[in-house]
Amino acid sequence: MSDIRIVLVEPSHPGNVGAAARAMKNMGLERLVLVRPRQFPHPQATARASGAESVLAAARIAGSVSEAVAGCGLIVATTSRERDQNFRVLEVRAAAARILAEAERAPAAVLFGAERTGLTNEDLERSHALVRIPAAGTYPSLNLAMAVQIVAYELYVARAERLASAGAELGRPGAAPLATPEELERLYAHLAEVMEEVEFRDRTQSGTHLMGRIRRFLQRAELDQNEANILRGLLTAVQARRRPAGGGSQDHGCSGERARGPA
């Protein structure tokens, strides 16, 4: 299958890691990344893998989510909770088709949180969308390995459907790959720099929400590499207009009032 990373963030039970590896092997997935696992390698992981030892042997250990998704295009995160943070939410079947399509152009990643706590808001920063697995409202929480199995199965089905209808177009064929997390981080740093230069600042009481909101709507926009470069070029042009040649004091980029942030 295309380059799809299954990323387990801080898994606490080695048996779940092994069961997740088995679920992946069943459905043709091979790239497992473990972010700060509590116990790995571990005999329980090997026992629960039951024939998928090759997935465990090739598993990569990462110290952070940023490291785990480095170089990826589309990044989706699984969740069982409602979040009021302006994330796009996809049902697992629709997400699988999109992940598979994007993975043909650049690596894609699916994030799974720790068994007890799930993914933190910080873990979600680099995600373009959330994936929800429908379940009974009386008990919607799934075991980690079960969640991996469901997502892996939907990816397998989406691949079969894609092969059966080779003429159908999914995703954005021919488009540039999505901007990688590293490229987006450079864009956000550049944007923050320009915002400071024009004194466009967060006017809320805590003064910490503006950049987070900007990051989230740009993540929802799913910028490709060309689009990220266009925005970087625009920001560079703004800076060039604000910095007069020869170090003079005239500001060629401003007329009238200085830019203001949100009230």
Q: What CATH code is carried by the domain that includes residue 234? A: 1.10.8.590
Residue 64, domain extent: 4-164
Distance from chain centroid for Cα 18: 24
Q: Are residues 47 and 120 located together in one domain of the fold? A: yes
Q: What is the phi/psi pair of residue 189, to 5°?
A: -65, -40
Same domain, 110 and 220: no
Q: Which helix (H) or strand (E) holds 110?
A: strand 108-112
User: Under a CB-based contact definition with an 8 Å cutoff, are residues 222 and 175 in contact?
Assistant: no
- Choose between 132 and 47: higher pLDDT: 47
The mean-pLDDT minimum among 126-130, 164-168, 208-212, 221-225 falls in: 164-168
Q: Which of 111, 87, 83, 109 is nearest to 98 (CA)?
A: 109
Is the domain of 215 the same as that of 157? no
Range with lowest mean pLDDT among 65-69, 107-111, 135-139: 135-139
CATH of residue 33: 3.40.1280.10
Task: Encode pLDDT of 175-185 as tens digits.
Answer: 689 999 999 99
The number of folded domains in the chain is 2
Q: How far apart are CA 75 and CA 145, in angstroms?
A: 19
Residue-level pLDDT at 130: 94
Segment 230-256 shows an average pLDDT of 69
Q: What is the pLDDT of residues 93-107, one digit of tens each?
A: 999 999 999 999 999
Same domain flag for 123 and 194: no
Note whether 155 and 186 are same-domain residues.
no
Residue 203: per-residue pLDDT: 80
Q: How does DSSP classify residue 4?
A: E
Q: Two tokens at 108?
A: 């894609």
